[in-house]
């Protein structure tokens, strides 16, 4: 279904000022089947204020993060415009809303920014070695929140993730929601595991050996991740720290083909798939104590693989071939009560694979064969209704952002397989990595400050 983006009207009060086309003609893809109608103007307007001597790199990263959040209509001020934070205040301007702080607001012409369509304004200033971020509530005529941060040097590996956190602070202050700016996505390319920021920058190698790697997965604390490496025909699972890059083998794996690890929400248990001559089944191991291997499925002429935990840790979705073709099943975390999860039509629906449970627990994304081509689907975990998300090209291996509204996946819609991100609320789609060969993405939780650097 085509999603048409209505034109953005120019504001008569200042014709050169306009809301940025966050969903331009290339951003809403015709190969998306979301069943929504996007109405421009329903998102709050936000302007990133010029001046105040903040580094342009900081302002540019924050503006891009806010755009990629898909939660605002960004208002662009033309270069060299006379509208400044220091514009003459109106009567009453500078008084903070309830609970706000008004000192930094004095001098901001709130009525003018209201006329330009802004609900919020973001100011950046450099005070000594401290970056001051001020979030203005334009409608209320005052400062909603102020944040102070000592950012690392520009060339420091932690610089970008620190700036991303400022963008997430803006979402918390304005809309009361968690952002996705301070997140990274793991993926496999040429047998190695890489990480990349959610805005498509700062790609870096994170796997630490010459063995072929697969199946990266994040721990819920954002400080560790797991992946599999092929060792002499076997699959050895590792758990690796994000910052120092130190890794430990999972003690109970390595003698079989072990793959597709998945952390439990408390981070103490690792579920994974084990393939032997008898078939493929799902196991769990206590990685906190390196003990207590437990088998959850017994194939008996079928394969069971690709586990993913529900956020409450009570259930595990997985793939099973017991109906013939692989389909998405669900069971209790102890392996009991195994049943079909994503409905399908015998003889009509193709195989289903790669389930990923959303962080809010409401949905499971997976890919399914449709007429010989893989497409991404979303399952409502409560009603078990299934809807198709993509339709253009081959689309597979979906992974949820921590906001449960953005999904990264692999698609060849551009002519070669690369990583893409889609916003399920608006249908906006963008390439994450314009490089061929990326596979098996895994989106991180929000990266904590103590785990913000990678090797």
Residue 351: pLDDT band (50, 70, 90) is: very high
Compute the average pLDDT of residues 219-224.
95
> What is the side-by-side order of every strand in the sheet holding 395-400?
395-400, 406-411, 418-423, 429-433
- State residue 54's pLDDT score: 67
Give residue 50's pLDDT.
83
Nearest to 3 by CA among 379, 390, 386: 390
User: CB–CB of 387/429 below 8 Å?
Assistant: no
Q: What is the pLDDT of residue 38?
A: 46
256 pLDDT band, cuts 50/70/90, is confident
Q: Do residues 94 and 107 touch, judged by C-beta distance below 8 A?
A: yes
pLDDT at 102: 39
- Strand 120-127 relative to strand 45-48, pairing: parallel
The segment with the largest mean pLDDT, out of 77-86, 387-396, 444-453, is 387-396
- Give the pLDDT band of residue 78 (cuts 50, 70, 90): low
- For CA atoms 153, 157, 160, 166, give the dihedral sign: negative
Flag the least confident range among 1-10, 29-38, 235-244, 376-385. Answer: 1-10
Task: Name the residue with higher pLDDT: 12 or 28.
Answer: 28
* Residue 122 main-chain phi, psi, to 5 deg: -120, 120
Query: What are the phi and psi torsion angles at 113 (to 5°)?
Result: -70, -30
Using CA atoms, how far residue 416 sits from 207, 370, 406, 435, in Å, is 24, 19, 22, 8
Banded model confidence at residue 23, pLDDT cuts 50, 70, 90:
very low
Mean pLDDT of 405-419: 95
pLDDT of 259 above 70: yes
User: CB-side exposure of 102: number of CA atoms within 13 Å?
Assistant: 15
Could you report the per-residue pLDDT of 271-297, keeping only the tens digit for each?
999 998 888 999 999 998 888 999 999
Least confident of 36-50, 350-364, 399-413, 427-441: 36-50
Statement: residue 453 has pLDDT above 70? no
- Is a pLDDT exceeding 50 seen at residue 15? no
> Does the pLDDT of residue 4 top 60, yes or no?
no
pLDDT at 374 over 50: yes
Higher pLDDT, residue 51 or 176: 176
**Assigned CATH topology for domain 184-451:** Neuraminidase (2.120.10)
Distance, CA of 33 to CA of 265 (rounded, Å): 31
Instruction: Note every long-range contact of 327-335, with CB atoms under 8 Å and residues 24 or more positions apart, other chains counting.
Output: 327/351, 327/352, 328/352, 328/355, 328/364, 328/366, 328/379, 329/304, 331/296, 331/297, 333/264, 333/309, 334/296, 335/282, 335/294, 335/295, 335/296, 335/297
Q: Given pLDDT bands bounded at 50, 70 and 90, which one contains residue 144?
A: very high
| pLDDT tier at 29, thresholds 50, 70, 90 | low
How much is the pLDDT for 254? 66
Range(s) of the chain covered by CATH 2.120.10.30:
184-451
Largest alpha-carbon pair distance within the chain?
A: 79
The ranges of the chain annotated as CATH 3.40.50 are: 41-175
Per-residue pLDDT, 108 = 86
**pTM for this entry:** 0.86
Range 41-175: architecture per CATH:
3-Layer(aba) Sandwich (3.40)
With a cut of 70, say whether residue 141 has pLDDT above it. Answer: yes
């Amino acid at each position: 279904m085509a999603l048409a983006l209505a034109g953005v009207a120019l504001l008569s009060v200042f014709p050169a000022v306009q809301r940025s086309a966050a969903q331009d003609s290339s951003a809403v893809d015709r190969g998306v089947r979301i069943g929504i109608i996007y109405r421009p103007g329903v998102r709050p307007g936000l302007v990133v204020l010029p001046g105040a001597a903040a580094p342009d790199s900081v302002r540019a990263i924050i503006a891009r993060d806010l755009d990629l959040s898909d939660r605002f209509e960004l208002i662009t001020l033309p270069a060299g415009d006379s509208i400044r934070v220091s514009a003459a205040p109106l009567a009453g301007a500078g008084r903070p809303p309830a609970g706000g702080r008004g000192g930094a607001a004095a001098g901001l012409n709130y009525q003018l920014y209201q006329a330009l369509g802004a609900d919020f304004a973001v100011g950046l200033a450099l005070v000594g070695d401290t970056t001051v971020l001020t979030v203005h509530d334009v409608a209320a005529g005052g400062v909603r929140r102020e944040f102070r941060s000592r950012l690392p040097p520009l060339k420091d590996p932690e610089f970008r993730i620190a700036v991303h956190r400022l963008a997430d602070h803006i979402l918390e202050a304005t809309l009361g929601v968690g952002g996705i700016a301070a997140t990274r996505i793991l993926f496999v390319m040429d047998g190695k595991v890489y990480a990349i920021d959610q805005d498509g920058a700062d790609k870096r190698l994170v796997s630490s050996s010459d063995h072929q790697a697969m199946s990266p997965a994040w721990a819920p604390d954002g400080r560790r991740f797991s992946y599999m490496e092929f060792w002499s025909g076997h699959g050895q699972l590792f758990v690796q720290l994000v910052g120092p890059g130190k890794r430990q083998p999972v003690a109970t794996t390595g003698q079989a083909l072990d793959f597709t690890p998945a952390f439990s929400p408390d981070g103490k248990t690792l579920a994974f798939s084990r393939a032997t001559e008898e078939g493929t089944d799902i196991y769990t191991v206590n990685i906190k104590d390196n003990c207590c291997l437990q088998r959850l499925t017994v194939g008996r002429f079928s394969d069971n693989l690709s586990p993913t935990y529900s956020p409450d840790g009570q259930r595990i979705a997985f793939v099973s071939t017991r109906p013939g073709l692989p389909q998405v099943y669900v069971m209790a975390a102890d392996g009991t009560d195994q049943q079909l999860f994503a409905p399908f039509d015998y003889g009509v629906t193709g195989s289903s694979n790669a389930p990923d449970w959303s962080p809010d627990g409401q949905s499971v994304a997976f890919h399914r064969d449709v007429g010989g081509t893989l497409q991404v689907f979303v399952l409502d975990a409560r009603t078990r209704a299934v809807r198709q998300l993509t339709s253009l090209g081959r689309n597979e291996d979906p992974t949820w952002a921590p906001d449960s509204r953005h999904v990264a996946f692999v698609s060849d819609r551009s002519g070669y397989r690369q990583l893409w991100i889609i916003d399920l609320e608006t249908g906006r789609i963008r390439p994450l990595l314009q490089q061929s060969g990326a596979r098996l993405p895994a989106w991180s939780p929000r990266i904590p400050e103590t785990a913000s650097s990678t090797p």
